[in-house]
Amino acid sequence: MQTPPVLPTTTAEAALANSNFNDSGTVISESHSQLNDKTDKEVVEEIEVKFEEGDSANPLNWKRAYRWYITLLAGLLGINATFASSAPSGIVPEMIEYFGFSHEVGVLTIALFVGGYCVGPLVWGPVSENIGRKIPLIISFTAYTGFTIGCALSRNTASILIFRFLSGMFSASALVISGALMGDIWDPSTRGKALSVFTLAPFAGPSLGPTVSGFMAVSGVSWRWVYWVMTIFAGACLVLIIFTLPETFKPIILQTRAKQLRKDTGDNRYFAPIEKTRKPLKETAIGVVTKPFIVFASEPMLIALTLYMSFIYGVVYLLFEAYPIVFGFGHHFNAGISGLMFLPIPLGGLFAVLGYIYYWNPRYAKLCKEHAPNPVPPEARLHQAIIAAPIFAGAFFWFGWTSYPSVSFWAPMMAGGPLGFSIVWIFLGLFSYIIDTYLFVAASALAANTVMRSLFGAGFPLFATQMYDKLTPRWASTLLGFLALIMMPIPLVLYKFGPRLREKSKFAPKNRSGGHH
């Protein structure tokens, strides 16, 4: 049963959808290409290389355990990249002391890294579709490890800020390509579980950063050691990529096979589809940089969803400044214990993943059967976001109004549970909705979404401290809660009016079943 593809941030599925490449497992086929349009007789036979039925080289046919290993490795790469984004938050005071810069510049070490996520996806998406997944990951993680060493050895403000931006830009490959790996190795009917595990990574990583760096700051080691730990983590991931990650992009696997056949047989008629359809990298890059913004600007649905998701993403990074104020100044915790206060966020996310696997996933599979042979309307993806939206808003009122120093620290800390839970449900639902709605331009829609989210993620921490100082944690959190309430109806409005909006859309496929269930 084919359902629309679901993957978080990738340009792969769109490429597969648009190519004439058949990955269903057909044997090598022959096509006739005409050399001379004047005559029918001068014909050369070309032999197209395809996967055979049950072909062991097709990633979809690899052993299940092996595919789960690749899924967990993809998740680890995502945790690595996002852990590195927030890790310096625990050592900002030590860096201020060493470099002599202001608190705002200290926060830039986080903001510029996330700012690198704005540029990275636009680079790594097209590259991974031209040369496969493995080589770009090796190149980017080698550079990312090198730039993190640069951070550890920095002697002045300019160098650490430049190295942090470049680290973010190169580590973004993990976010883009890891999502593409999911589409390569799981078919749509089994992708849900793998995707839900993978979605946890971008929220688990940032929550672990302050805990690790906080305890390192308390233990008295130099601030440089936080960057050395990040270097070791990135280097370990690089070793795993080199030695344990296979190439998973089907067109590239077929290209390798075609080259091998040409070499072994001396017969140059063998070709892989990508060798015919591949555009020059420059042309692809220009398209990838401009197309997301064209799609974004002409789609009100996408603008609304992206605004909501960007706000949520920005708030996650804002909390790295808010938590030290509530728990550090309010409850007099050291940086290590303050970092521990983040742990309910990934724990809540874990419960959300379990809820997705055991409730939403089977429910969606049932809808697939009901709607067969038509695809399930994308609006079915919005149910979990509709439920999670009020929980997300409520978590801020809970956090804000229990943040008095006189109230037990357990109260604001536990607000992180529903916060993490609701974020994962909202993101899983809305990511899936974007992909189901914009099928063939899903890659562009998600690239625009990633760039906007990263801008918010980079911008929010810059005003967080002033906001929480001036308004107090109570009113600052209340303001965020009210903003979340204002945006709460977005999934509901799309659920109600989505079919009508899709009819008018320039980019959403029209031949889908509409309505609700």
In the chain, what are the domains?
Answer: 59-250+279-504 (1.20.1250.20)
Place 53 in a pLDDT band, splitting at 50, 70 and 90.
confident
Q: Interhelix angle for 442-487 vs 281-297, to 10°?
A: 30
Residue 10 has pLDDT above 50, yes or no: no
More confidently predicted of 274 and 248: 248
Per-residue pLDDT band at 349 (split at 50, 70, 90): very high
- Alpha-carbon Rg of the chain, whole angstroms? 24
- Report whether pLDDT(27) > 50: no
Cβ proximity of 148 and 233 under 8 Å: no
Averaged pLDDT for residues 273-289: 76
- Which pLDDT band holds residue 479 (cuts at 50, 70, 90)? very high
Average pLDDT over residues 23-46: 47
**Of 467, 461, 468, 452, nearest in space to 112 by CA:** 461
Q: What is the mean pLDDT of residues 197-201?
A: 81
Q: Of 383, 490, 393, 392, whose CA–CA distance to 428 is shortest?
A: 383
Instruction: Give the type of residue at 477.
Output: S
What kind and span of H or E run contains 394?
helix 383-401
CA atoms of 24 and 494, how far apart (whole Å): 34
What φ, ψ does residue 282 adopt, rounded to 5°? -60, -45
Residue 439's φ and ψ, nearest 5 degrees, are: -10, -70
Q: What percent of the chain has pLDDT over 90?
A: 50
Name the least confident of 6-15, 38-47, 289-298, 471-480.
6-15
**SS3 of the chain: helix, strand, coil, percent, to 5:** 75, 5, 20
Q: How would you list the strands of the sheet with 270-271, edge to edge?
A: 29-34, 43-48, 270-271
Reply yes or no on whether the pLDDT at 515 is more than 70.
no
Establish whether the linkage from the previous residue to 373 is cis, with ω within 30° of 0.
yes
Residue of higher predicted confidence among 123 and 12:
123
Q: How far apart are CA 427 and CA 203, in angstroms?
A: 10
| Nearest residue to 432 via CA among 298, 297, 294, 309 | 309
Task: State which amino acid sits at residue 112.
Answer: L
| DSSP-assigned letters across all residues of 57-108 | TSGGGS-HHHHHHHHHHHHHHHHHHHHHHHGGGGGHHHHHHHH---HHHHHH
- CB distance 125 to 117 below 8 Å: no
Q: CA angle, corner 97, sides to 92 and 101, nearest 5? A: 75
1-10, 218-227, 399-408: the lowest-pLDDT one: 1-10
Are residues 27 and 50 in contact, defined by beta-carbon separation less than 8 angstroms?
yes
pLDDT category at 510 given cuts 50, 70, 90 is low
> Which pLDDT band holds residue 227 (cuts at 50, 70, 90)?
very high
State mean pLDDT over 499-507. 87
Q: What is the pLDDT of residue 44?
A: 61
Single out the residue of 338, 9, 459 nearest to residue 202, CA to CA: 9
- Taking the C-alpha atoms of residue 221 and residue 294, their distance in angstroms, rounded to an integer, is 49
Cis peptide before 188 (omega within 30 of 0): no
Average pLDDT over residues 343-357: 93
Q: Token pair for residue 176?
A: 């883009």
Residue 109: the pLDDT is 93
Tokens of 126: 């097209």
- Mean pLDDT to the nearest integer, 273-299: 80
Q: Which of 83-97, 110-124, 267-281, 457-471 comes out lowest in average pLDDT?
A: 267-281
Whether 475 and 485 have beta carbons less than 8 Å apart is answered as no
Report for 3-12, 17-26, 421-430, 500-509: range of highest mean pLDDT: 421-430
**How many CB atoms are closer than 10 A to CB 11?**
30
Q: What is the pLDDT of residue 5?
A: 33
Give the three-state DSSP class for 44. Answer: strand
- Quick one: average pLDDT of 317-323? 89
Mean pLDDT of the chain: 85
373 band by pLDDT with thresholds 50, 70 and 90 = confident
- Average of per-residue pLDDT across 46-72: 89
Contacts 24+ apart (CB under 8 A), 298-301: 298/506, 298/507, 299/438, 299/445, 299/505, 299/506, 299/507, 299/508, 300/501, 301/437, 301/494, 301/498, 301/501, 301/502, 301/505, 301/508
Contact at 8 Å (CB) between 269 and 46?
A: yes
Q: Which two tokens stand for residue 428?
A: 């899983």
Stated pTM of the model: 0.82
Average pLDDT over residues 166-173: 94
Q: What is the pLDDT of residue 21?
A: 37
**Percent over 70 (pLDDT), the chain:** 89
Indicate the length of the chain as a whole number: 517
List the one residue out of 509, 343, 470, 467 whose CA is nearest residue 417.
Answer: 343
Per-residue pLDDT at 2: 36
Q: How far apart are CA 394 and CA 19, in angstroms?
A: 45
Q: Which of 453, 437, 444 is nearest to 505 (CA)?
A: 437
